[in-house]
Each structure stands twice: as C-alpha cells, then as structure tokens.
Amino acid sequence: MGMHDFVIRNAALLDGLGSEPFTADLAVRDGKIAGIGKSLSAKEIVDAGGLALMPGIIDNHTHYDAQITWDPMVSPSSALGVTTAIIGNCGFTIAPCKPAERELVMKNLTQVEGMSLDVLRQGIRWDFETIPQYFDMLERQGCAINVAGFVGHSSVRTYVMGADAPRRAATAEEIARMRALVVEGMRAGAVGFASSTSPAHNGDGGLPMPSRLADDAELRALVGALKDAGRGLFMLTKGGHTRISFLEELAAQSSRPVVVAALLHNSTNPRSVFDDLDAIAQANSRGHRLVGAISCCPLSMDFTLRSPYTFEGLESWKPALPLKGAAYVEKLKERGFRDAVRAELARPAHFRLFNGQWDQVEVIASARKECEQRSIGELARAAGRDPLDAMLDLALEENLDTVFNAMLLNSDEQAVAEMLRHPASLVSLSDAGAHLTFFNDAGFGLHLLGHWVRERGALSLPEAVRRLTSTPAELFGIRNRGALKPGYAADLMLFDPRTVGRGAKQRVFDLPGDHPRLTTPARGLHGVWVNGERNLQRLPGRVLRDFSP
C-alpha cells in the first residue's frame, strides 16, 4: 500500500446513504476514497475540526450547455458545493447544431432560458456540430466539476426539421432520423433524453420550443431509443395537458425511469402538485419508475417588461411574444390585450408561473423612488386602479426599464416541506446556468441543508444529504459517486452544519461583454474536492459518459 495523498481528520462523516454521522478519518489516493477509519496517515492532513464531510452535491437540473464552452469553472455551481452537474435539461441543448442554424438555436435560448443574445454570440465556442463532437470538445477543454449531458429534443428536432421544427408535427421519416440522433448521442455517452411540453417554453419570435410540436408517436419513438441503448432516462418538463398516465406508459414501454418536472407548489391551486406526486407514487407501485422533480427554493424572479418570462406562458400574452420595439409597446397599451390577460388570470389553471397574486409582485427599481419596495397590489389599491394596468403603465412610463420581482411558486413553506418528504420527489430544479438575470438557485443544496434542515427541521441532516447525493447518483446511473465509500470518487464537501446556507443574492458583471447575472455566495462551506483535487482551477472534473444500466 502506498502513502495516501491526504487524509481529512476529525470530520463527522455523512455517507450519503442516510446513515447517522460518525467521526472518522477519510483517506484519498489517486482521486478516489482509499479508506475510512481511525488514525490514517498521509502526506497531507486536513484537520476538519468537527466540521461535517459529505459527498459533493449532484445537481441534476442545470442549463450550462452554452456557458460551459466559455466558462470551464462552471460558476457559480463549483463554488456552491456542487461536484457533478447534469446539463441539457428540458431538451434545450446546443448540440447537435448545423453551422447555419447556430443563430436560431441561440435566439431560442435567449427567449426560453432568459439568456442574453450578446453573451451567447460572444461566448459560445462552436467547435462541434454533433453530440459526440460536443462531448469530445468538453473533454479536451476540461471542467472544474463533473458533467453529464442529455440528448436534447428541441436541438435534435431543429437539426432534422430546420425552420419547420417549431411549426408542425414530424413525418415518419423525420422521426426515424431523430431517433438515429438520439441513439448516436446515447452511444457517445449521453445520460438520457430530455424534452419539454410546457407552455411556458417559447423560443424565438414567440414560437413554441420545437419539442412542444411533437405528437405522442414522436415521443414514443424517441424515448424508445433508450430501450435500444439499455440505459439512460427520460426527463420531461411537462405542460398541464401531458398526463402522468402517458408518462407511465413511456416508462413501461422503454423500461427506463422518467423524471417529471417541474413540480412546483401553486397557492391558487394548492393540491395539483400533490395529485401529480401521488400519481407518480402509484406508477411506482405498479413497477414503473417515475420521479417528480421538485424545488426546495421559493421561485422568485427579477424581470422587466422587456423580457417578462413571468407572463410568457399565458395564452393571452401570445400576441405580444413576436413583437419588438414600438409594435410591442402599442400591444401593451391595448385595452383588448389587457382584458384578455385579466380574464385568463381570473381562471384557475393546473400549472402556470403567475396566478394574479399582485401582492407578491414588488417594484425593485423605478425612476419613481416612492414605488420601490412596494407591491403592485398595494400601489394599485392606493391609486384605486386595476393592478395589471398599474404595472404596465408604470413600465411604459419608464421605457420598460422598471425592475419587478415576482414571488411566483413554492412560497407556501408548509407545502414545500410536505413535497420534500414525499417519497416520489427528487430535489431538483436549480436551473443553474439559465435565467441568469432573473434568479439564481445554483445554491439549492446549501439552502436545503441550512433552511430546511437546520432552521425548519423538515428533513434530518443524513436524509437531506442522501437526497443531494446517492439518490440522484443511483437514479441517473452515475457510477461510484454520491457516497463516502472506499473506491468511490473523492467528490467531497466539507461544511459547518451550524452555519451552512446560501447568502443574499448579488448582481455581478462577469459574463462575456461584462453582462450581469445574479449569484448567491456560499455560507458555512469549508472545502470542495472534485476527484480528490481541491484546486478547481486545475479543472479536475470529468465528462461522465459511462452509466449503470
């Protein structure tokens, strides 16, 4: 036996499997956990002084596909305890992509993921066309954390159908070509196939994201490619019209797990998310593996009326989506447009981002300082006006520069605690890498450990750690990660359970072209190792391409 590279001493070990913490030494050699015990020796000793040591966080819902090509540090996730990120969720990837369609793919991302077109044009390194070439490029470039990627439905559809992708159903021949691309991606080491049927997901010019045009036959064929591959999972961000029973059918036909997103609590329709989780649990009882992707964070969003993602899923907002400049301004002034939005918000919905809760929409930045830190509901009552009119008129008066914040979903803490404890739920939906100017939940794992464990007692510490580590590792087939076991990769996070959490959001200007994004600093985080390496600047992460069946 050679000497260990380093030993972490005096830590309370949380093994990721749900066991109670125990104090021991953990030794690392050649990037792997080499031993767990007492009085282990090594070239370097890290004295943990009673801090807790757990496997690194596995973030199973990110959108770093574009950013990682210019930012191998994968910030801010690498600074927030995340050691493995799954990219390509919802099917919004940048591969495969023909050179002639790069602009279209970037414009779609700008709309659906709240990214700046300038940032994407300056930042993305297009050293690839196919999915295998994209993974190869990431491997050559290196990354700070481990990354696994989905084959993305919207990208595959655009590659095969071009400008028709967001406009019509596919022919049998086009479906066959798409299926071949899914198989090629799986052979190159993709973790699965991802898609979206959510009405909130619109691309350039207000057209639906391409995957929303897929009929049941197309989804059956593409998810069926996973059966051929013998591994991988299907990830879907579902619209209200997509039934859990259909997703159970796909799980049964493909014999593969299905991740159902985005299950968020809506206070105006409080039981719908639990109906979905219960339906998923019932599918599990019939031997079909489905899991409901939930968030442990309240969904709040900063936005301006220039890019009002908050409203873009509304049917009544559709006429405004393709408009720019003066035509868009005129549409916002139109009485008929406003009346249609009001009427839609008055009707209950199974799932939508905004539900007319005007007291939860606040003015953050306005030329009229007296409006700041006050809700639209409050301002409208004070002026004896309708809240939608009050908001739109304020924004129009200020050239659409007014910044609002909307507390949209998951604001009922009791309901979120119940979702976290539901046996069919997967802690997920950080959306890291997307909506950079609206919100940032990349620190979701630290929030789970601080807010939900220490402050609210909704989960025990061992259980919360399990939900962030071995649970996603096992579901996604990630080998030898997600637990503190000899032979497993030394992806580790050292933290103080008494102070762990995420700090207040901050605006930083570090995207290409000095564009802004929101971030949250880590609290109580004392060390992160990826494959046994603490200096993440050396890019110790791997592109994961080999998964358990």
The pLDDT of residue 2: 66
The pLDDT of residue 1: 52
224 shares its domain with 325: no
152 shares its domain with 282: yes
Residue ranges with strand state E in 338-491 = 361-365, 403-409, 425-427
Go through the chain and tell me how many residues it has. Answer: 549
Of the candidates 155, 297, 267, 175, the one whose C-alpha atom is nearest the C-alpha of residue 224 is: 175
361 shares its domain with 415: no
The whole-number mean pLDDT for each consecutive block of 10 residues of the chain, a chain of 549 residues, reads 88 98 97 95 94 98 98 97 98 98 95 88 97 98 98 98 97 98 98 95 91 97 96 95 96 98 88 96 98 94 87 91 94 97 89 87 94 96 96 96 90 95 97 83 97 98 98 98 98 98 91 91 98 98 97
**Residue reference for tokens 């200096």:** 535
101 shares its domain with 193: yes
* CA atoms of 370 and 209, how far apart (whole Å): 39
Tens digits of per-residue pLDDT, 399-441?
Answer: 999 999 988 888 899 999 999 999 999 999 999 998 777 778 9
507 shares its domain with 530: yes
130 shares its domain with 94: yes
* CA atoms of 189 and 208, how far apart (whole Å): 28
Distance of CA 332 to the CA centre of its chain: 31
pTM: 0.92
Q: Is residue 63 exposed (0-12), middle (13-18) or buried (19+ Cβ within 10 Å)?
A: buried
* CA atoms of 316 and 545, how far apart (whole Å): 43
- Write out the two tokens for 112: 């659906």
Would you say residue 518 lies in a domain?
yes
395 shares its domain with 446: no
399 shares its domain with 414: no
Task: Tell me the DSSP string of 30-87.
Answer: TTEEEEEESS--EEEEEE-TT-EEEEPEEE-SB--TTGGGT-TT-TTGGGTTEEEEEE
**Residue reference for tokens 């913490």:** 21
Tens digits of per-residue pLDDT, 160-181?
Answer: 999 999 999 999 999 999 999 9
**Residue reference for tokens 């007492």:** 38
494 sits in the region (left: phi over 0; alpha: psi -120 to 50; else beta) called beta
517 shares its domain with 440: yes
Residue 39: CA count within 13 A, CB half-sphere: 0
Would you say residue 543 lies in a domain?
no
368-371-372-375 Cα dihedral, nearest 10 degrees: -150
* CA atoms of 129 and 159, how far apart (whole Å): 10
516 CB-near residues (< 8 Å, 6+ apart): 436, 437, 507, 508, 509
* CA atoms of 499 and 50, how far apart (whole Å): 13
245 shares its domain with 343: no
- Write out the two tokens for 481: 């990660």
The pLDDT of residue 205: 86
Pairing of strands 82-87, 57-59: parallel
Domain that holds residue 353: 301-407
